Structure 1
Amino acid sequence: MTSPNEMQASQRPFFEIASSDFARLTAHIDCHDIDGKTILVSGATGFFGAWILALFEWLRKTRNMQFRVLAISRDPQSFKRKHPWVADAEWLQWIVGDIQDFVFPEQSVDYVIHAATDTSAAAGRSPALLLNSIVRGTERILACAKACGAKRVLLVSSGGAYGGQSVDTPRLLESSRNAPSTMEVGSAYGEGKRVMELLGAIHAHENACEVVIARCFAFVGAGLPLDGHFAIGNFIRDALTQDQIVIRGDGKGVRSYLYAADLAVWLNHLLLNGRNRGIYNVGSDHEVTIAELARQVIATLAPAKTVIVEGASNSPGAGNRYIPSIDEARSELGLDVWTALPQAILNTALWSSKNS
């Protein structure tokens, strides 16, 4: 296993990690209809966006493909300082602006990836603003897709659109009729994503454009915030910097994590090959409890350290679940969980030790 000191010595930059990942996943990467195309990407400087751009950069370097990416961002300069590998990318053109009012590009667009949503805890504390930003941002991106003649749009939605998962439901299915409660202000994010999906269906119905929905769950990889509300990010941070990982609750909650490189490959497949007006869960179905996750992080990064579960209880009963079924993506598109969780944790730590 790798110790924190060894981690510091072997820390690696973002694109070096991503390139190694994509080389490992090369047999699963579909780029049959990217060459010569123009792709508009919103949320280009977020966690998802960085990995999407990294995949495009890797394709340019290894496949000698010619395409153009138009990336929407409020602050591309900040992103370029963190990611110097895009600083001089000739294939990348920035559109500076907010997703709700950005200026449409003058050139035509073939594909659109809409991945712009604020998922921070701070955003959740302003539910009306969050809901409005999701809906208005989607309206704006779809209007842009229409004006620029886009033929396919990938809308990055969320498993939050299901509104929760009962403990006796092993995995959430795309056919599930679950929905967030309209009387809970915490439903703003999930309801916003449902409206996003409906707007996408209307756009596909009214225009010569195919729309695909990616309902995304939980992920890990370089660029994931280590000081936010993501348990796995906090665990990796603590394994690198603290004497122990402390879980305030009972640790019984059940989650699963798809590695970011796998995620980027999935999203690219859905953009090119997803069924029109199809909904696909995007995530891992390899479940782990929060307590088991913390122990997995410790075992991978710092086996001499310990995990403390402050709310540990011997009482029966399962914790809350957030696990997708990915059978739809497997059977239709051949997608799968290709990167094991220990490798995903290690790669995230190799980057975060450099940037923490």
Structure 2
Amino acid sequence: MNGSILVTGGAGFLGSHLCDALIARGNDVVAVDNFYTGSKDNLSGAIDSRRFELMRHDIWLPLFIEVDRIFNLACPASPIHYQNDPVATVKTSVLGAINMLGLAKRRKARILQASTSEVYGDPQIHPQPETYWGHVNPIGPRACYDEGKRCAETLFFDYHRQHNVDIRVMRIFNTYGPRMHPRDGRVVSNFIIQALNNEDITIYGDGSQTRSFCYVDDMIKGMLAFMDQDAHVGPLNVGNPHEITVRDLAETIIELTDSRSRIDFRDLPADDPLQRKPDIAQATETMNWQPTVGLHDGLQETIRYFRWLLG
């Protein structure tokens, strides 16, 4: 992968790790972010590199820049953030996709869309293969994100069919690791912070709902491998197929942090999926990718980060 690369959402959790990986490969990187959830602190390593530039910009506004490849990661990804301003979330997903696809068309650049497992909604098929169309509430409180990402996928494939834009559409399943936003409302960051503070760990529902968690290093390797290969445009599931209940996750984090926390059960939010597990057969076949970091090892690295963050 040569030339200059644009990373939208480059100051966010995944975006900052991607910028670091691209710089390490010798690429010139331009990161764009509006800093709604991203932070310059996430880019403390990249910012000193002569190969790196940072720009404050909302991608729902047009952007004219000379780049060869585009990673479109911009969009708040946790319910607490994307539900805080749902109209802005839809604008980022839909208008942002139109603007970035227009840029890719003008530049004849390959563009990767960071889509999401949320396009499957509360799935009725388990695990979820890429052929599954999903079970999504189009007017619910999560729809600004779920349907925004689904519409972005539509735009990507329409630009591909109509304008021959070189696309990659990647469906990202739950990812965790250092640089997660401490107040993003996700179970891993929530549980770790509550455990480190010896506070009650909040579980919504009875804790039997399942998730599959992929460590950030594995996710970035999958993203780069997908962008590099020429055989498949997607959509492609990338995530860890190891499934765990939310209650087991909480108990594991309590053990790893040596916490005195107890579990506090609350009502399940509307449209919260009960199962989430990727079928990654295509990723394995297409680019010989599988996650390698186990949950315990990844959680220990994440706990170390939050210990440092909390001081």
TM-score (norm 1): 0.78
Contact 1:204 1:277 (C-alpha < 8 Å) held by counterparts: no
Q: Percent same amino acid at aligned positions?
A: 23
Q: Measure, in 2, the Cα distance between the counterparts of 1:187 and 1:236.
A: 27
Give 1:305's match in structure 2, choosing from 247, 250, 260: 260
Aligned to 1:215: 171
**Residues 24-63 of structure 1 aligned to structure 2 (within 5 Å):** 34=1, 36-59=2-25
Q: Does 1:99 align with 2:65?
A: no
Picking from 222, 232, 238, the partner of 1:266 is 222
Measure the CA separation in 2 of the matches of 1:131 and 1:39. 25
Q: 2:143, 2:13 → 1: CA distance?
A: 22
| Alignment correspondent of 1:156 | 114
- The answer for the alignment partner of 1:283 in structure 2 is 239
Whole-Å separation in 2 of the counterparts to 1:87 and 1:332 = 33
Match of 1:350 among 294, 304, 309: 304
Distance 1:75 1:129, change over 3 A: closer
- Residue 270 of structure 2 corresponds to none
Q: Which runs of 5+ in 2 are unaligned?
A: 268-272
Cα shift at 1:145 = 1.2
Task: Return the alpha-carbon distance in structure 2 between the equivalents of residues 181 and 281 of structure 1.
Answer: 21
The 3 A distance-change label for structure 1 pair 274 and 300 is farther
* Aligned equivalent of 1:328: 282
SS of the equivalent of 1:278 reads coil
Q: Separation in 2 of the partners of 1:339 and 1:72? A: 29
Distance 1:259 1:248 in 2: 23
Other structure's SS at 2:114 match: strand
The answer to whether the 8 A contact 1:226-1:236 is kept is no
Measure the CA separation in 2 of the matches of 1:268 and 1:219: 15
Confirm whether residue 70 of structure 1 aligns to residue 70 of structure 2: no
**SS of equivalent residue, structure 2 residue 181:** coil
**What's the C-alpha RMSD, in Å, of the aligned pairs?**
2.3
Q: Is the 8 A contact 2:23 2:52 kept in 1?
A: no
Q: What SS does structure 2 have at the residue aligned with 1:103? A: coil
Given the alignment of the two structures, is residue 134 of structure 1 paired with residue 67 of structure 2, yes or no? Answer: no
The one-character-per-residue Cα deviations of 1:94-137 (angstroms, maximum 9, x if unpaired) are 233111115311x3x22111000122414224433322331001
> Partner letter of residue 21 of structure 2?
L
Q: TM-score, normalised by structure 2?
A: 0.89
C-alpha distance in structure 2 between counterparts of 1:257 and 1:204, whole Å: 31
Is the contact made by 2:13 and 2:42 (CA closer than 8 Å) also made in structure 1? no
Q: Secondary structure at the match of 1:235?
A: helix
Higher Cα Rg, which structure: 1
Per the TM alignment, residue 272 of structure 1 is displaced from its structure 2 partner at its CA by: 1.1
Structure 2 distance, partners of 1:243, 1:45, is 29
Q: Larger relative contact order (C-alpha < 8 A, sep ≥ 6)?
A: 1
1:200 aligns with 2:151: no
Q: Quick one: structure 1 residues 272 and 123, their matched pair in 2 at CA, closer, same or farther if it must change by over 3 Å?
A: same
CA contact (8 A) 1:253 1:289 kept: yes
Distance 1:164 1:265 in 2: 27
Distance 1:137 1:73 in 2: 12
Residues paired across the two proteins, number:
303
Ranges in structure 1 where 5+ consecutive residues have no aligned partner: 1-33, 60-64, 313-318
Aligned match for 1:340, one of 294, 300, 303: 294
Partner of 1:93, secondary structure, is strand
CA 1:82/1:117 → structure 2, altered by over 3 Å: closer, same or farther? closer
Partner secondary structure for residue 87 of structure 1 = helix
Q: Secondary structure at the match of 1:90?
A: coil
Q: Say which SS state the counterpart of residue 45 (structure 2) adopts.
A: helix
Asked if 2 retains the 8 angstrom alpha-carbon contact of 1:210 and 1:276, the reply is no
Give the superposition deviation at 1:219: 1.1
Preserved CA contact (<8 Å) 2:200 2:264: no
Q: Residue 141 of structure 1 aligns to which amino acid in structure 2?
A: M
